[in-house]
Structure 1
Amino acid sequence: MILFYNILQLIVLLCLWPLIILFIWAKKKYRTTMPKRLGYGIKKTISTGQAGEKCIWLHALSVGEVTSVLPLIIALRQNMPRARIIMTVSTSSGKKLAETVASPYVDSIISSPIDILPAVYLFVQRIQPDIYIQVETDFWPNLSTILRRKKIPQILVNGRISEKSMARYRRFHLFFQPIFKNFAFLSMQTENDRKNMLSLGISPEKILTLGNLKFDTVLNKKKNPLPDFFVRLAREKQLIIAGSTHPGEEDIILQAFREIITENKNARLIIAPRNISCGAEIQKKARELSLSANRRSENISEESDVLIVDSLGELIHFYKLGQIAFVGGSLIDYGGHNPIEPALMNIPVLFGKHMSDFREIRQLLLETGGALEVSEQTLVSLCNQLLQSKTRRKEMGDAAHRCIEKQQGVIPRHMHYIRQLLDG
């Protein structure tokens, strides 16, 4: 299968190389990152270590994976202060966030290699890792094969398999199964994720259920306070935080807020789109509904009805200031986003019915009274009820926090297995 993969790669490159080069040249983000992802100048961008020091290569796909793995990165640095930690990230937004939140704990942050044999070989030769840690997803056959041949242990942390991913893994079973088998172990978030991996034919002894790294966020997250303006705003207004929202549901949220503010004039909406480039479009839609709206990147005003967070790495701090949190990707058929961060901030958590990617956490929060499932029809009434009852908000917020707190201890479990591989 790996031979077929590389032959296919070669055919595509030979046939389409003029178009590929033209495409890269036309897109600035690819023009600046592609040479590095092919291995050019890699010696200048990766720090070298001293003899005898362990080297940990940690790979995250994008913003979500960078956020998830941050508690583990901090623990690795605290427990292995002399280790060399190299972090690769696939997307430009993920790399930007990593440079903001992870740079104090790692030695280098670089774009990940394109999965072409020469590029991957250059990266592996330069980094010389003692272990490769992959976060959640982003499996590549050439990288995995070279690591296996060089006898470098590979592990997956915070692994999860969404319904869409499961369908893809089954369809391309012959392609993915050899990659999964190259891993020393696969640490899955939930028992359901473990069962999905077992159904793909992976040996049970390779699959662990160590939990979601985000459960330990509060214990490890470096503080990065927001400007005083937002802290003051939270004291004077009632903030509804809509996090990781998507096109389609943002219209629903804005329309709902227009109704909410007629009954609760002290309410303000802080909306953080999953794709921060959507900020201008959300601002336009808010103004079309006669809502005053400003973006975080602009001059902001206390009089704004809607504040749009078009920045990276700040959502968790906005959750700390909120009275209500709504978790995006759940009013539309996307699969939802992780509700752990708002739950840890002691505020009521709301989400729609489309939470298939976080089924177990959703169920835990609903059963313990820390969350409510909403629809387009009930969003307004439930928000109004919560805004008008401080007691109910506190009860739900405390229940949400307790629910997540009971799941903590994920980092020590991961550190145990990582140390075993490094010491072995």
Structure 2
Amino acid sequence: MNKYFLTLFLTAATAVSGFAQANISPAPAQSKLTYVLGAKLHLGNGTVIENGYLIFDKGKITGIGDATVVRLDMSKGELIQANGKHVYPGFIAPVTNLGLAEFESVKASLDFSEIGNLNPHIRSIIAYNTDSKVPATLRSNGVLMAQVTPQGGTVSGSSSVVQLDAWNWEDAAIKKDDAMHMSWPVTPKIRPGFGNRPPTLTPELLKERTQNSINELDQLFSEAKAYAETAKPAVTNARLAAMKNLFNGGQKLFINVDGQKDIIAAVNFAKKYQITPVIVGGDEAYLAIDFLKQNNVSVVVKQPHALPNVTDDDVNMPYKNAAVLVNAGLNVVISIDGYWQQRNLPFMAGTVAAWGLDPEKALQTITLNTAKVLGIDKTTGSLETGKDATFFISSGDALDMRSNHVEKAFIQGRDINLDNLHKQLDKKFSDKYNAQKQ
């Protein structure tokens, strides 16, 4: 009975929290030609225009350049005067369970993992919740797109890229099933037993278990490759069919792995099946730079605000890791764990900039570099003519939490609402305490 009332209470709490943002509806399509004039344009490809103009119409950027050398006829459109402000391409949050989870303590709101160890047939996009109250908080910091990613097991399933202002997942999808995600089997460290008792698992047994997991992966991929090469399979197999695009170049394989030897083993595994790998995590990627460059492997660096995994590492290595990899010539993307935390993604890039990376290159790690890895760089990731008008205007440096203040944001030309639950609660309780002072 107690469990029944607890479930009822949590369900009601979920509903009430959802009503707090019921007035935030997706923005309508762009209705008129618009000019943004006088801002400092950060194009996302390393270029900065100190005093620029940006023109967009019907959701696309139709013009961009230096406002000091061009005379514009603005009689036919709407003008946004942005002198002294900054314009950035929309930030992209990779490898996140955003929209697949709402309350950590309420199991019914967690939809990012499935039972089982090998789940290549799982698709995150159909579970993506556009009514979640979380994406609005991200938009307020310039995060306008995300790679919604399943988790759990060795092979988790396929992610999809979405824009964060939509009525349903069909409207939100920018690229469906862009990548398959897996975790490379790693031999865990031995934990001592209680008191003087020896550990329950020996090093040999742990290594054997890890090798068995790798063998299972090898068998799965071998069968999937054979299935993909069969014109008309006699028996339909949903798991194997879901992996077809890995072998024809339609999908990349995102591999969660950190150790140097494990990174090399994971990349070689993908090469064996002629699959394009992307390393996620890569704590020790700096020890395998030459190997990664030779194989043209991108790295998604996770959680720059963290402690090193290895005792002997430099305590500041997590801050430096991205800069070391970028300066060595690798394509690097920055991500951050969780879903609420995604609002801090630009500040992760700001930390990387403070630890050895040029600020515009740091910006690329959450814009164009990410778009390239996700396969959406032809339409977004930078401010260029012909690309989607997905960008925002900030009164300060968007990578600096002290000065970042997003004043306007556009997704595919749509002027989106920047209200969110945090702002609503701030206003509510500010009004309360201001009333008490009177």
Q: Same fold (TM over 0.5)?
A: no
Instruction: Give the structure with the larger helix fraction.
Output: 1
Larger Rg: 2
The structure showing larger relative contact order (alpha-carbon pairs under 8 Å, at least 6 residues apart) is 2
The TM-score bracket by the shorter chain reads under 0.3
Per the normalisation by structure 1, the TM-score is 0.25
Instruction: Give the structure with the larger strand fraction.
Output: 2
Per the normalisation by structure 2, the TM-score is 0.25
